[in-house]
Amino acid sequence: MALLPEHFTPAYIGPGAGFAFLGSFLTLVISVLAGIASLFLWPIRYLRGLARRRTGSVRRAIFLGFDGLDPRITERLMAEGRLPNFAKLRGMGSYSRLRTTFPALSPVAWSTFATGVNPGRHNIFDFLSRDLRTYVPELSSARVTKKSVEFRRRSEAFWKILGRYGVTSTILRVPITFPPEEFNGRLLSAMCTPDLRGSQGTFSRFTEPAGELEGPAGEMIPFAVRDGCLEIQGARFCLKEGVYTPWVHLRFPSARGIARFLFTTKDGFSLYCTPVQIDPEAPAMPISHPRWYAIYLAKLLGAFATLGMAEDTWALNEGAIDQAAFLEQAWLIQKERETMFFSALDRAPRGVVACVFDTTDRVQHMCFHQPDVIEPMYVDMDRILGQTLRYVDPGTALFVLSDHGFTSFRRGVNLNTWLLQNGYLALKPGTDGSSEYLADIDWSRTRAYTFGLAGIYLNLQGRESQGIVPASVRAALTEELAARLRGLPDGGERAIANAYPAEGLYNGPYLAAAPDLIVGYADGYRAGWDAAVGKVSSEVFTDNAKRWCGDHCVDPDLVPGVLFSNLPLQGVDPGIEDLAPTALKLFGVERPAWMEGKALL
């Protein structure tokens, strides 16, 4: 799911850097008042909903997402009898592989799940987009400035449509829901929710027993470790080697945060601190709808991770924590998610309950070649499904799905380097291409470039501020690049399975924001780490030396997802875009004309 070091920051300004957001106390007060107002307005909303409600075939629909659950592994373990609840659900209704999106990236796929449309209509093509004036990459799904937070996914989620017809939804950690939109229901944001420093997850590690922990806008909190205990802001937490502290509540001058600490001595004194996350009891920026919902969950269930990608894959990549510590962190976050999910099922006998578990994605990214880790994790997802099945009755529809599958990541490909070597890209005089975010590229002599994971962009006249490619040759140049890249060899192996011009994949008002060419990497290959951040490295092909050894940023045909249901689903080659219209039909709501997916019932 993740694409870059999680501390990627160009699109964000931290909450302490002058956000015109409410301070923590005022946020709490207004959230409480909003909650009281909501209670008084509930009868009006309820009667309005009754008037618009359609007659559907179910009382409740449950969408249980396991990000990255791979069909090949799932099918093999079912055949071995190790996933009895998945096998049971298949027998109750149906199972099939689920066609994913181009590209097979979580922000793209889950956006299509929510809206039922292709990326050309929801505007999410990658983790990153770029500023057409400056060429600087920025997060594609949200833009945070000093005065506002802009949600950049377009089209409408099916839960927002259902809400207009009196069907309420509880949406928990479905990716690309930050900042939260208003609708008739409750939502807790997920992917791309930043930490308090405004980044996508910046951890800290200290090798001395005293120091300062950084928060928003450079604000610091001093701490010390004395007599085996962490002392911070008047609180004292006794440390046990290799065991995470509970969530520690932190009060910075401009905002409140939470973090966990991990103490080890294997290689000398080490105190690791997770990214400092937005405190759900006093959110410094909107992370839920209604605003009080995060506060309610924290009061009801205790503190929980709020960062979009809370499992710290980069800390493991950089050696700040070991695999055991990473896995323990992933399990702790999963337990929080389970508690939320089953609490929601207990409290929502009608409408939609949707929840996505990230554990399957994060652990496969870091441990894909370790069956002794991966297979027990799949068995544990079967346990969660078994518990969910207890909530299924004749009036309940259950869908279990993944947005994509998984494969290995052995070799990275830097297409900027290939473009340089083949005359499509040029560097500024005196530079070597090692600067991040396309900073070394000479735009006056560059026809094509890449960043992120999806594909190649043309430096197009009238679109990019320094574009040199005339619109009249765009199609020809795109096809020329596609033809040369299809089957690109790496020694005796094929690195690229296919390359797809965007016009053949997408349609809609946001087509111009798409990469001009989507690259479908072959099994074992992916965009290299340098290419993802806009560097031009010395080699086209490099070994992937990081702990991050599994991925899905390959040709989508190689990594379909899974779809289970207690209902007998129809339709050939179901795609993730079909879930939104299916949800609408379950509740008797007609599919809007702009929605491309087809109901599977």
pLDDT digits (tens, 9 = 90+) for 304-345: 999 999 999 999 999 999 999 999 999 999 999 999 999 999
- Tokens standing for residue 361: 């994605």
Whole-number Å distance between alpha carbons of 444 and 393? 64
Please choose, from the candidates 403, 297, 399, the residue with its C-alpha nearest in 3D space to the C-alpha of residue 353.
399
Topology, domain 24-198+276-406+558-586: Alkaline Phosphatase, subunit A (3.40.720)
pLDDT for the residue numbered 195: 96
pLDDT digits (tens, 9 = 90+) for 486-518: 999 999 999 999 999 999 999 999 999 999 999
To the nearest whole number, what is the mean pLDDT of the chain?
Answer: 93
Residue with tokens 């509930």: 42
The identity of residue 372, as a single letter, is D
Percent of the chain with pLDDT over 90: 89
Please choose, from the candidates 174, 144, 130, 7, the residue with its C-alpha nearest in 3D space to the C-alpha of residue 454.
130
Cβ 563 vs Cβ 403: under 8 Å: no
pTM here is: 0.92
**Local confidence band at 147 (pLDDT 50, 70, 90 cut-offs):** confident
pLDDT above 70 (res 7): no
pLDDT digits (tens, 9 = 90+) for 245-274: 999 999 999 999 999 999 999 989 999 999
Task: Write out 13-57 in H/E/C secondary structure.
Answer: CCCCCCCCCCCHHHHHHHHHHHHHHHHHHHHHHHHHHHHHCCCCC
26 Cβ contact partners less than 8 Å away, ≥ 6 residues apart:
none
pLDDT digits (tens, 9 = 90+) for 512-558: 999 999 999 999 999 999 999 999 999 999 999 999 999 999 999 99
| Edge-to-edge order in the sheet of strand 229-232 | 210-214, 220-226, 229-232, 235-238
Q: Between these two residues, 153 and 54, which has the higher pLDDT value? A: 153
Whole-number Å distance between alpha carbons of 280 and 21? 15
Whole-number Å distance between alpha carbons of 214 and 276? 8
pLDDT above 70 (res 27): no
Out of 15-19, 283-287, 591-595, least confident range: 15-19
pLDDT for the residue numbered 17: 39
pLDDT for the residue numbered 53: 57
Percent of the chain with pLDDT over 70: 91
The identity of residue 117, as a single letter, is V
Domain boundaries, the chain: 24-198+276-406+558-586, 409-555
Out of 45-59, 171-185, 292-306, 426-440, least confident range: 45-59
Whole-number Å distance between alpha carbons of 379 and 382? 5
**Local confidence band at 19 (pLDDT 50, 70, 90 cut-offs):** very low
| Edge-to-edge order in the sheet of strand 455-458 | 448-451, 455-458, 517-521, 496-501
Instruction: Give the ranges where 401-546 is alpha helix by DSSP (H).
Output: 415-421, 474-485, 529-532
Instruction: Give the ranges where 116-149 is alpha helix by DSSP (H).
Output: 119-122
- Tokens standing for residue 306: 């709020």
Whole-number Å distance between alpha carbons of 498 and 360? 27
Report whether the peptide linkage leading into residue 175 is cis, meaning its omega lies within 30 degrees of zero. no
pLDDT above 50 (res 182): yes
- Pairing assessment for the beta strands 524-527 and 407-413 based on DSSP bridges: parallel
**Local confidence band at 30 (pLDDT 50, 70, 90 cut-offs):** low
**CA 22, chain centre distance (Å):** 26
Instruction: Count the residues in the chain.
Output: 601
